[in-house]
Structure 1
Amino acid sequence: MAGDKETLLGMGFESARVEWALKATGNRGLQPAMDHILEHEGQPVPDLGAVNESSSGASRRDAMDVDDDEDADALKSLGAAASSAVEAKSIKCSECGKIFRNTAVANFHAEKSGHDQFEESTEEIKPLTEEEKKEKLAELRQRMVEKRAKKAEEELQERKINENIRRKSGKEMNKIKEDMKLKQALKEADEKKREKIEDARAKAAIKAQIEADKKARAEKFAREKAIRDGQPIPGESSTPAPAPVPKATPSSSGVAGKDFKETRLQIRMSTGGQPYTTTLPSEATLREVAEFLAGQSLSVDVETVSFSQHFPRKVFSHADFPKSLRELGLTPSAVLIATIP
């Protein structure tokens, strides 16, 4: 309707959006059009040629016309036919008391509220005054502000939820990384602890060997001196001499007769850096040790690299490469220094 369109345009709405609202609501009045504008705020205006006018108003109007006919027949049967002098100027909702300009507006109210009890009314709905238009516009703008505020609040809550999910995922990932680092550190600590224990055992075996060698040399020197001087040999008596104790070797770690099938090596570079550790069969050759080291570092050449020990001090030449770790006295564990020319 021209009056409704002018009112909506006077409220500041776009012409295309006003025409869309009036056509979509079947020109059922100002209130349905404003409700349509509010409900579709922010949506692009479609091609008005593809917008179908609401057909529900016509169907409801037909239904109400049938009801009116039935009511008129009922009044006639009671002898109280409706007087043509009384003209219905509006439609009233019997459930909420609201008055509507025409059947189309009443149908729209029925669709939104679910009310289905209406009656004709002689009350006339006067056109909105300028003051009422301003109040209606202010109410409409307030509703728009509230709707936008509610939408902004919902978007804010959604962003907070997404941010919390992201932070929680980040914390869980960091915890997994920290746990992995801790496990790796514990593993390295256990490895170093085992290496220290094995080194201590090897040093103890070497120390015992040195002491045994000293004692054997001292006894030999004492016997030779006694023979030269024509004196009794120390340690010899009428009682049978105890069986000689076999010398301990570095490969037995101070335990006579024990066969170590594997040898643990720690190889340190003379140039510094991280040492390499490996476990090889005791029958493996020194050349295999050189090949292992060449596989760990590109700067190592099997043909030129040489090995040595600090304690006891010993240097291995290339002539020792075919010998086994057992033959070289490196079992059960040893620390080698690799020298690169």
Structure 2
Amino acid sequence: MAGDRDALIGMGFDAARVDWALKATGNRGLQPAMDHILEHDGQPIPEMNTVTESTSRPSNRMDVDDDDDDEDADALKALGAKAGDVEAKSIKCSECGKIFRNTALAQFHAEKSGHQSFEESTEEIKPLTEEEKKQKLAELRAKMVEKRANKAVEEAKEAKASEMIRRKAGKDMGALKDEMEKRQAIQDAEKKKREKIEDAKARAAVKAQIEADKRARAEKAAREKALRHGEAIVDSPTTNPVASTSSATVAGKDFKETRLQIRMSTGGQPYTTTLPSDAPLREVAEFLAGQILSVDVETISFAQHFPRKAFSKADFSKSLRDLGLTPSAVLIATPPGP
């Protein structure tokens, strides 16, 4: 009825739950609907067609079947004849003793508790007084407030846990990003350092090659001049022989080949050749022996004027690079005396 529905909604009950209660109790009044709401507090609201079906047809779990209606009626008649026509005013659960106003409430109790044995009872459920209604309503509201408060606490806990997880994930990602940036910065610095070293080596090598070419051209010009004038050939000193040789030696470590000018101490035409920087000094002697038949590999000796240095037989097995002759050098070859 519209009046009962408005009254229940005015008490603070949800409209959908009020509709469910009124349909489940067959619109029998305010009290049964309120009892239904209190009994089903916190339960999900079923679809209305399900409520109508369950209201009109009791569940099999209560031992009340459509097929047994006639038998139950006959039994009640027999009992009424014996007990003075006792009228059933409620339904009682035989297992727990609870009393319900109608089959809908009994059915819900059966589904919730699993109890299956019910019987009709002559015990009448008295309607609630106004004071009891207010008390039950207050209890229901307090229960709803507590439930909402508990739900809010749980939601706050879940939100806090989610926030902690999010922050931890963000912190881990930030630390990982910082570590990757740090490694990248180290790699970039190392790369720039290597490039700087390579550039310095290349510039030193080019400078050493230029100086060696200048020295070779000056020596060639001086030799040709001496030959034209019939003068003795004297090696041309460099402006700073120690520094030039030192830079040439350092830069020469990166050269794969060595250019040599070989002069005989007895005079004559100089010989030039290019050998691998890893070639031993003995190959220089073998090259010279191939040019001059009178030269013996085992007896020839070599020396440098700048810096002044004489190479022994033990140096014949050493490479041109190890002897400091790269990228270019001038050697004085001396055959054994008579």
Length-normalised TM-score, structure 2: 0.50
Contact 1:110 1:116 (8 Å CA) reproduced: yes
Distance in 2 (alpha carbons) for counterparts of 1:250 and 1:31: 104
- The alignment-based identity, stated in percent, is 57
Contact 1:90 1:124 (8 Å CA) reproduced: yes
SS in 2 for 1:60: coil
Q: 2:35 aligned with 1:31, yes or no?
A: yes
Aligned mate of 1:66, from 61, 65, 68: 68
Contact 1:248 1:255 (8 Å CA) reproduced: no
Distance in 2 (alpha carbons) for counterparts of 1:207 and 1:26: 111
2:96 corresponds to which residue? Answer: 96
Amino acid at match of 1:138: A
Cα 1:27–1:164 change in 2 (3 A) is farther
2:126 corresponds to which residue? Answer: 126
- Write the mapping of 1:230-249 to structure 2, written as runs, cut at 5 A: none
Q: Per-residue deviation at 1:27?
A: 3.9
Cα 1:146–1:156 change in 2 (3 A) is same
Contact 2:17 2:37 (8 Å CA) reproduced: no
Contiguous gaps of at least 5 residues in structure 2: 224-230, 236-244, 260-326, 328-338
User: What are the superposed Cα offsets for residues 74-95 of structure 1, whole Å, 9 maximum, x if unpaired?
Assistant: 997xx99642343333222122
Q: Aligned pair count?
A: 237
User: What are the superposed Cα offsets for residues 168-200 of structure 1, whole Å, 9 maximum, x if unpaired?
Assistant: 443344344334323321221221221243245
2:55 corresponds to which residue? Answer: 57
- Write the mapping of 1:302-341 to structure 2, written as runs, cut at 5 A: none
2:227 corresponds to which residue? Answer: none
Cα 1:24–1:218 change in 2 (3 A) is same
Which moved further from structure 2: 6-15 or 122-131?
6-15
Contact 2:92 2:98 (8 Å CA) reproduced: yes
Which moved further from structure 2: 21-30 or 129-138?
21-30
Q: Per-residue deviation at 1:14?
A: 6.4
Distance in 2 (alpha carbons) for counterparts of 1:254 and 1:105: 100
Distance in 2 (alpha carbons) for counterparts of 1:6 and 1:123: 30
Contiguous gaps of at least 5 residues in structure 1: 224-230, 236-244, 260-331, 333-341
Q: 2:190 aligned with 1:190, yes or no?
A: yes
| Structure exhibiting the larger radius of gyration computed from Cα positions | 2
- Write the mapping of 1:132-151 to structure 2, written as runs, cut at 5 A: 132-151=132-151
1:22 corresponds to which residue? Answer: 22
Length-normalised TM-score, structure 1: 0.50
SS in 1 for 2:92: strand
Q: Per-residue deviation at 1:159?
A: 2.9
1:298 corresponds to which residue? Answer: none
RMSD of aligned Cα (Å):
5.2
Contact 1:32 1:108 (8 Å CA) reproduced: no
Contact 1:248 1:256 (8 Å CA) reproduced: no
Distance in 1 (alpha carbons) for counterparts of 2:101 and 2:67: 16
1:108 corresponds to which residue? Answer: 108
SS in 1 for 2:166: helix
Q: Per-residue deviation at 1:115?
A: 1.5
Distance in 2 (alpha carbons) for counterparts of 1:27 and 1:59: 16
Contact 1:209 1:249 (8 Å CA) reproduced: no
Distance in 1 (alpha carbons) for counterparts of 2:38 and 2:73: 33
Q: Per-residue deviation at 1:140?
A: 0.7
User: What are the superposed Cα offsets for residues 123-155 of structure 1, whole Å, 9 maximum, x if unpaired?
Assistant: 221111222112211111022112222332343
Higher helix share: 2
- Write the mapping of 1:205-216 to structure 2, written as runs, cut at 5 A: 205=205
SS in 1 for 2:95: coil
- Write the mapping of 1:232-311 to structure 2, written as runs, cut at 5 A: 255=255, 257=257
Distance in 2 (alpha carbons) for counterparts of 1:10 and 1:155: 29
